[in-house]
Amino acid sequence: MKLEILLGDEAVALGAIQAGLSAGYSYPGTPASEIMEYLIKAAARTKSFLASWAVNEKVAYEEALGVSFAGKRALVSMKHVGLNVAADPFMNSALTGANGGLVVVPADDPGMHSSQNEQDSRFYADFAKIPCFEPSNHQEAYEMTRQAFDVSERMGVPVMIRLVTRLSHSRSTVRPREPRGQNEIRPGASQDWTLLPVNARRRFRGILDAQADMVRLSEESEFNSLRLNEKDRSLGVVASGIAFNYVQENLGEAGNPPSLLKVCTYPLPRKLISRLVEHVETVLVVEEGYPLIERSLRGFFGVPGKTIKGKLSGDLPLTGELSPETVRPALGLKPLDRLDLGKFQLASRPPQLCAGCPHADTFHALNKALRGFGKGTVFSDIGCYTLGAYPPYQAVQTCVCMGASISMAKGGAEVGIRPSIAVIGDSTFGHSGLTPLLEAAAADTNMTVFILDNGTVAMTGGQPSYASGERLLKMIEGVGVAKEHIRVIEPLPKNLDKNALIIKEEIDHPGLSVIVAVRECLEEARKKRRSG
Question: Smallest distance from the beta carbon of 31 to another protein, in angstroms?
Answer: 6
Cα–Cα distance, 476 to 103 (Å, whole number)? 35
Q: What interhelical angle do 434-443 and 404-414 show, nearest 10? A: 30
Closer Cβ to another protein, 162 or 298, answer by number: 162
Closer Cβ to another protein, 120 or 321, answer by number: 321
49, 149 Cβ separation under 8 angstroms = no
Cα–Cα distance, 351 to 387 (Å, whole number)? 7
Question: Smallest distance from the beta carbon of 324 to another protein, in angstroms?
Answer: 4
Closer Cβ to another protein, 72 or 169, answer by number: 169
Question: Smallest distance from the beta carbon of 219 to another protein, in angstroms?
Answer: 25
Closer Cβ to another protein, 77 or 96, answer by number: 77
Q: What interhelical angle do 33-46 and 8-18 show, nearest 10? A: 40
Q: What interhelical angle do 270-279 and 211-220 show, nearest 10? A: 50
30, 196 Cβ separation under 8 angstroms = no
| Cis? peptide before 131, omega within 30° of 0 | no
Question: Smallest distance from the beta carbon of 285 to another protein, in angstroms?
Answer: 18
At 528, which amino acid appears?
A: K
Closer Cβ to another protein, 230 or 337, answer by number: 337
104 has which bridge partners?
76, 160
Q: What interhelical angle do 8-18 and 138-155 show, nearest 10? A: 40
367, 377 Cβ separation under 8 angstroms = no
Question: Smallest distance from the beta carbon of 426 to another protein, in angstroms?
Answer: 18
Closer Cβ to another protein, 155 or 263, answer by number: 263
In SS3 terms, 102-146 reads as EEEEEEECCCCCCCCCCCCCHHHHHHHCCCEECCCCHHHHHHHHH
Closer Cβ to another protein, 44 or 341, answer by number: 341
Question: Smallest distance from the beta carbon of 385 to another protein, in angstroms?
Answer: 11
Closer Cβ to another protein, 181 or 350, answer by number: 350
Question: Smallest distance from the beta carbon of 528 to another protein, in angstroms?
Answer: 14
Question: Smallest distance from the beta carbon of 251 to another protein, in angstroms?
Answer: 9
Coil vs helix vs strand at 159: strand
Question: Smallest distance from the beta carbon of 179 to another protein, in angstroms?
Answer: 22
Question: Smallest distance from the beta carbon of 350 to another protein, in angstroms?
Answer: 6
Cα–Cα distance, 306 to 293 (Å, whole number)? 16
Closer Cβ to another protein, 252 or 510, answer by number: 252
Closer Cβ to another protein, 438 or 522, answer by number: 522
CA of residue 351 relative to chain centroid, distance: 20
Identify the DSSP state of 257.
P
479, 434 Cβ separation under 8 angstroms = yes
Closer Cβ to another protein, 64 or 174, answer by number: 174
The closest of 250, 247, 254 to 309, measured between CA atoms, is 247
Residue 2's Cβ-count burial label (10 Å; 0-12, 13-18, 19+) is exposed
Closer Cβ to another protein, 349 or 371, answer by number: 349
Q: Which residues bind another protein (CB under 8 A)?
A: 3, 5, 30-31, 33-34, 113-114, 166-167, 169-173, 242, 245-246, 248-250, 252, 323-325, 328, 335-341, 344, 346-355, 384, 387, 391, 459-461, 530
Beta strand residue intervals within 426-518, DSSP E = 447-453, 456-457, 463-464, 486-489, 512-518
Question: Smallest distance from the beta carbon of 322 to another protein, in angstroms?
Answer: 9
Cα–Cα distance, 247 to 226 (Å, whole number)? 14
Closer Cβ to another protein, 242 or 467, answer by number: 242
Question: Smallest distance from the beta carbon of 81 to another protein, in angstroms?
Answer: 13
Is residue 426 within a helix (H) or strand (E), and if so which, with residue range? helix 426-428
Coil vs helix vs strand at 343: coil
103, 17 Cβ separation under 8 angstroms = no
Question: Smallest distance from the beta carbon of 169 to another protein, in angstroms?
Answer: 5
